[in-house]
Structure 1
Amino acid sequence: MTASAGPAQQDTAGTKKFLVLLMGSIGVVYGDIGTSPLYAFREALRPFSHDGISHNEVIGLISLMVWTLTIIVTFKYVLFLLRADNDGEGGTLSLLALLMKKTGRYMPVLFFAGIIGAALFIGDAMITPALSVMSAVEGLKLVTPALSGYVLPISAAMMVGLFAVQSRGTAAVSNFFGPITVLWFLAMAWGGLLHIGDDYTILEALNPINAVWFITHAGFVGLIVLGAVFLTVTGAEALYADLGHFGRKPIQVAWFILVFPSLALNYLGQGAFVLAHPEAAENPFYLMYPDWALLPIVLLATAATIIASQAVITGAFSLARQAVHLGFLPRLQITFTSETNTGQIYVPAVNTLLFVGVLVLIFTFGDSESLATAYGISVTGAMVVTTLMAFQFLRSVWKWSAVAAGAVLLPLLLLETVFLAANLLKIHDGGWVPVLLAATIMVIMWTWRKGSMILREKTARNDIPLETFIRSIEKKSDHAPVAVPGTAVFLTSVPDKTPAVLLHNIKHNHVLHEQNVILTVRTADTPYVPPASRIELVRISDRFLRIQITFGFMDDQNVSKALGLCKKAGFKFEIMQTSFYVGRRNLISDPNSGLPKWQDRLYIALAGIGIDPSDYFRLPANRVVELGEQVTI
């Protein structure tokens, strides 16, 4: 009995865990794409409303929306890109890290593509919360016009609450949000089912020929409308970035059993409702619900739009951590919010940046209609970049031929390029906002990357080979440093050179510990590195060891904990008799550094906001010794 109970209990626990992840993925991953029905069809109808909306235009629009969801979200993201993971992690930078590991070709192109995609995604993470929440809160005007003047302060207050709870972690947030989002999708499906019978010809939209007809017959106005149609798939890129939070299977199952059917039914219902009641085109989503249900739906929509922001926020946290570990951003404070899932994190600096950006957008644009015109460029741009990188993924990782990879991705790339072109038409009408946000983030990433390379090159000029230093220091002479008991750990990024902090210690304190560790921390191109492969230990002399600790770019970079693994390799030390020496650089601007003056100052400013290395590497605070130096850059 006992033997058979074990597997049964494991199955029950596994099923429970899967259901928790499934519910969480609905609440976080699909929150963004689940609020698109609030505004997507309304904005797509707007260019046609001045001269009346024809039957074929409504059918063509709904067909285009349903098939855009099918092709881009179902085929590209849910079925394909969720399998293009880097040991379970998704997103533009995770894909870039995988390609850096697998191929040596086209690296400059892939590098810039990764930065562009990451920058566009962070821009999207600012615009999505502002647009989604304002769209929902504006529904209060239908309940009572007296609330019209309170849309902005209510939206801002909701954003304060949303960003305040981020520190509690993805699991806590998703456990609360999941059931609400499930109710929201069911309410959308119900609203659609109420009105599909208003005009059964709307079912013709399920024929993709109607989508093709719309694209080929709508002319220039149709190109403008495509920008609004693309609002139906906002959140798809976040779906990929959030892969590490929940895993592939829960995300895929949630899409097919609940999310996609609910979205399709709602869009079909909105289309049939407008065919039967053309005057409802001004706000078809809310108007298709009965009067008694309007207030509950507005409140549910408001909750859903707050939740919608979670997908891009958690995606931005994951992306920021990857950017830090891959050398695109300075070290930022990263808090782990789950004991079992290391993909669930909180990044205070990113949270603050997104919060400020969202508030600026809310009060600058003032309503969802104005902000909707600015939306789309960041989403479509990020999708195009991801498709281009996916082509190289198929070639380098899955070993597909160029012909096979092109046959699969070229039609998708053409479709997304058309959508991007349609959104670029809105540059003058607010579309410059996501472009400016993305450009700013790209400059920051490129500056940090380039500045760090220049700094390494400058400090390398004064480096002394480690073995040369050890030979000189171990010669008996009157000037030899005093030997002191204990262990000294010197952190350095160049393991074969003498750390500057070691030279400063001898120069100023004239002592050398009986055991000295030259410690290098390296970040691999994989998300996680198993403990068995984490430590490389080489004894250089009786008093010197070289240790390299390798973390994955999604690992918690806890050096103190990792050093405990060294005992198995024969290196024993007592933490209370160990001192960690960390160098602190005071950067000074140098006009001949190789960077323009403004970029030089930007790099120094970025270095100033980086977290202290002793905190970043989780070193014991009472065992850290910092020695400073001035470096021109």
Structure 2
Amino acid sequence: MTRTDHPGRTAGDGATEQASPEKTNLPLLTLGAIGVVYGDIGTSPIYAFRQATHIRPGAASTDIEILGLLSLIVWALTLTVAVKYVFFVTRADNNGEGGTLSLMALARKTFADPPVWITILGVLGAAMFFGDALLTPAISVLSAVEGVDLVAPGMGRWVVPITLVIIVGIFAVQRFGTAKVAIVFGPVTALWFLVLGLSGLVHIIAYPAVLSALNPLLGFGFLFTHFGIAFVVMGAIFLAVTGAEALYVDLGHFGRKPIVLAWFSLVFPCLLLNYFGQGAFVLEVGIDNVASPFFQMQPDWALPPFVMLATLATIIASQAVITGTFSLTQQAIALNMLPRMVVQHTSATQSGQIYMPQINMMLMIGVLILVAAFKSSAALSSAYGIAVSGVMVVTLALLVVVMWRNWKWHKALVIGFALVFAVIDGAFFAANAAKLFQGGWVPAVVALAVAILMWSWMAGRRRLTAKTRRDEVPLEFLVNNLAKKKPNVVPGTAVFLTSDVEGAPTALLHSLKHYKVLHEQNVILTVRTSTSPRVPDDEKVTIDAYNELFFRVVVTFGFMESPNVPKALALARKLGWKFDIMSTSFFLSRRSLKLGQKTGLVRFWQDRLFIRLARNASDATEYFHIPTGRVVEIGTQVVI
């Protein structure tokens, strides 16, 4: 067998597009990061401080209590976002990409035989992100629209209908892509942060004593003196840092430098000014006279445009988490953690601009149900937090693995870092878990359902692969036999897709059985997914020549890439294979899965779920971008 490796490049390949985004215009990238990365955390001031001061009557009845709550918010932002995420998590990039699955892949790289618990953490983190994706649009848009009741008293009954209409509109425009809309994301969100900072600064100047909340002892003092409600308060404080996970998820789109620059130059200062301003306003007028400090501290003349700007900001925040869900799902599919789904590219130049109609519809239905059921952002705040805090715990665990095995930190430093942030993240998670029966069960159930789907799909694929390998004929055995006794040869090239590099493809065996012919060139094609987000062209294709009739071609895509098989095979022209799509036929095996006899309830329902998922998976022809006119599908039944 002769192995041939040759570098090849094609114009517009994903690896070329995404390489080192920080080398382009830094100011534009920073502005874009403000709009996409910080849209979610930028809407937290609408409801975070309000919920913290209204935990129960009397919980914030004195000045020292209000300052204590404010101190907790300030230091939560500082430690969780500025220190943990900005300084450390964003450094754990997987060839420039971030996110839970990317971090999981990076952690797995450090092991020759990765332990299963790393995969479990990745599954849990991804599943909890889906729970977060349902709640973020619901609570963000609802909290902004509630401001209309202050602009026009009596409009309260229209808050839910208006919110439902806005949400339907948000999901309806997803099919057109975010490339054009994203142009205004940065400027609008930058204006939003400037208005947040200015509105807070006015009240800080009027009541500068509020700055004493910078003292962390006030926050600790509040927790010790209100120990009975400390967990509930921490759950409300956590609302101020929701959206921090977006710093890491969108790392590949902007690069670390723009994200860090945007945080320290605009986002962090403006958030602090607004929270201090809300605290100053409450201290001025008294907690009993404030229902929503965020809106009430605005002058009457500014309230209508302010509500409109807040609504725009929440729409942007929702847009960011929706597109993040599309990207996460695409990664999960590439890593064989979910079945194939339709992925539509909405931009000819940006590979990250995708639309997934199935995910979009499920998200929209879920968000509409949440808004109609909870009816207010205050009620939704009880459900919000469990999923996000869970993602943060998973991120910390995987980050510790990377620090220890990839960055080669000293064990004492790793343990110290892990202990400090385990206390913080653990406290937030426990506080949010305490809200389980007040609405927190919603994201927990969603995350559990997604985790079961992912785990069942992976388990089913493992069993199906094992079953197929037991029944397959070794490829080299078949090739050697055909070389000795050649069947009739017809012109053209036949490409047989298979996931097993050792066994003969089922489609090839059935083709020989029924047609009793071979093509002039027969390519056994295996598509693999790398643990890296993107694979350079010179590493994408390898060819092994068995003889003049058979070739083994392995195409490797990164888990962030769209698997375009014809485009990848065009690279093989530089390897000596004269690939011509018009003289090539692709042979695919379409498996019809059947249930066998099972022992055990778990195996029974898990296999039924796997079969249902497989039947609803999108067509392989569409997923691999193979022209439908060049495909021959051969069916076979498999009992699992």
> With structure 1 as the length reference, what TM-score do the two structures score?
0.95
Spell out the pairing of 1:107-122 with structure 2 (5 A cutoff): 107-122=115-130
Residues 63 and 205, structure 1, Cα contact 8 Å, conserved in 2: yes
- 2:485 maps to 1:485: no
Spell out the pairing of 1:78-477 with structure 2 (5 A cutoff): 78-104=86-112, 107-278=115-286, 279-476=288-485
Residues 454 and 593, structure 1, Cα contact 8 Å, conserved in 2: no
> Which range moves more in the overlay, 480-489 or 344-353?
344-353
Deviation at 1:52, TM superposition (A): 5.9
Q: Secondary structure at the match of 2:206?
A: coil
Residues 45 and 281, structure 1, Cα contact 8 Å, conserved in 2: no
> Which of 596, 615, 621 is matched with 1:614 structurally?
621
Q: 1:371 to 1:335 in 2, by over 3 A?
A: same
Deviation at 1:284, TM superposition (A): 0.5
Residues 85 and 248, structure 2, Cα contact 8 Å, conserved in 1: yes
Residues 528 and 553, structure 1, Cα contact 8 Å, conserved in 2: yes
Residues 481-511 of structure 1, C-alpha deviations (whole Å, 9 max, x = no match): 3211111000001122110000111112222
Residues 300-334 of structure 1, C-alpha deviations (whole Å, 9 max, x = no match): 11111111112322221221111111111011222
Residues 507 and 589, structure 2, Cα contact 8 Å, conserved in 1: yes
> Which range moves more in the overlay, 380-389 or 337-346?
337-346
**Which letter maps to 1:587?**
L
> Which range moves more in the overlay, 283-292 or 552-561?
552-561
Residues 48 and 237, structure 2, Cα contact 8 Å, conserved in 1: yes
Deviation at 1:280, TM superposition (A): 3.9
Deviation at 1:409, TM superposition (A): 2.9
**Which letter maps to 2:322?**
I
Spell out the pairing of 1:61-76 with structure 2 (5 A cutoff): 61-76=69-84
**Which letter maps to 1:536?**
T
Deviation at 1:105, TM superposition (A): 6.5
Partner residue in 2 for 1:579 = 585
Q: For residues 418 and 165 of structure 2, what CA distance do their matches in structure 1 show? A: 43
Partner residue in 1 for 2:547 = 541
Q: 1:254 to 1:171 in 2, by over 3 A?
A: farther
Residues 557-608 of structure 1, C-alpha deviations (whole Å, 9 max, x = no match): 1110111111111111322111010111111222328763322221112112
Q: For residues 104 and 366 of structure 1, what CA distance do their matches in structure 2 show? A: 50
Residues 336 and 342, structure 1, Cα contact 8 Å, conserved in 2: yes
Q: 1:484 to 1:52 in 2, by over 3 A?
A: closer
Residues 122 and 394, structure 2, Cα contact 8 Å, conserved in 1: yes
Q: 1:440 to 1:590 in 2, by over 3 A?
A: same
Q: Secondary structure at the match of 1:32?
A: helix
Residues 84-135 of structure 1, C-alpha deviations (whole Å, 9 max, x = no match): 0101110111000111112247621111111111111110011011001111
Q: For residues 250 and 263 of structure 2, what CA distance do their matches in structure 1 show? A: 14
Q: Secondary structure at the match of 2:633?
A: strand
Q: What value does the CA root-mean-square deviation take over the aligned residues?
A: 1.7
Deviation at 1:245, TM superposition (A): 2.1
Q: For residues 171 and 96 of structure 2, what CA distance do their matches in structure 1 show? A: 26
Residues 527-553 of structure 1, C-alpha deviations (whole Å, 9 max, x = no match): 111101111101101100011011111
Q: For residues 347 and 401 of structure 2, what CA distance do their matches in structure 1 show? A: 34
Deviation at 1:51, TM superposition (A): 6.6
Partner residue in 2 for 1:561 = 567
Q: For residues 406 and 114 of structure 1, what CA distance do their matches in structure 2 show? A: 21
Q: Secondary structure at the match of 1:145?
A: coil
Deviation at 1:188, TM superposition (A): 0.7
Partner residue in 2 for 1:57 = 65
Q: For residues 149 and 480 of structure 2, what CA distance do their matches in structure 1 show? A: 79
> Which range moves more in the overlay, 264-273 or 426-435?
426-435
Q: Secondary structure at the match of 2:43?
A: helix
Greater relative contact order (Cα < 8 A, sep 6+): 2
**Which letter maps to 2:502?**
D
Deviation at 1:345, TM superposition (A): 2.7
Structure 1 residues without counterparts, runs of 5 or longer: 1-12
Residues 144-202 of structure 1, C-alpha deviations (whole Å, 9 max, x = no match): 13321111111111111111222333432321222111111111111101211332211
Residues 88 and 247, structure 1, Cα contact 8 Å, conserved in 2: yes
**Which letter maps to 2:297?**
M
Residues 169 and 338, structure 1, Cα contact 8 Å, conserved in 2: yes
Identity of aligned pairs, percent? 50
**Which letter maps to 2:256?**
R
Q: For residues 202 and 556 of structure 1, what CA distance do their matches in structure 2 show? A: 52
Deviation at 1:276, TM superposition (A): 0.8
Q: For residues 264 and 40 of structure 1, what CA distance do their matches in structure 2 show? A: 13
Structure 2 residues without counterparts, runs of 5 or longer: 1-20
Q: 1:220 to 1:269 in 2, by over 3 A?
A: same
**Which letter maps to 1:605?**
R
Partner residue in 2 for 1:597 = 604
Q: For residues 401 and 52 of structure 1, what CA distance do their matches in structure 2 show? A: 43
- 2:47 maps to 1:44: no
Q: Secondary structure at the match of 2:503?
A: coil
Q: Secondary structure at the match of 2:180?
A: helix
Deviation at 1:29, TM superposition (A): 1.0
Q: Secondary structure at the match of 1:282?
A: coil
> Which of 550, 554, 568 is matched with 2:556 structurally?
550
Deviation at 1:247, TM superposition (A): 1.8
Number of aligned pairs? 618
Spell out the pairing of 1:507-526 with structure 2 (5 A cutoff): 507-526=513-532
Q: For residues 587 and 599 of structure 2, what CA distance do their matches in structure 1 show? A: 28
Residues 445-484 of structure 1, C-alpha deviations (whole Å, 9 max, x = no match): 00000000011111111110111112222333xxx63211
Q: For residues 29 and 559 of structure 2, what CA distance do their matches in structure 1 show? A: 23
Q: For residues 369 and 56 of structure 2, what CA distance do their matches in structure 1 show? A: 31
**Which letter maps to 2:475?**
L
Deviation at 1:21, TM superposition (A): 2.1
Spell out the pairing of 1:22-33 with structure 2 (5 A cutoff): 22-33=30-41
Residues 493 and 521, structure 1, Cα contact 8 Å, conserved in 2: yes
Residues 223-250 of structure 1, C-alpha deviations (whole Å, 9 max, x = no match): 2111000000000112211212222121
Deviation at 1:15, TM superposition (A): 8.5
Q: Secondary structure at the match of 1:474?
A: helix
Q: For residues 264 and 66 of structure 2, what CA distance do their matches in structure 1 show? A: 25
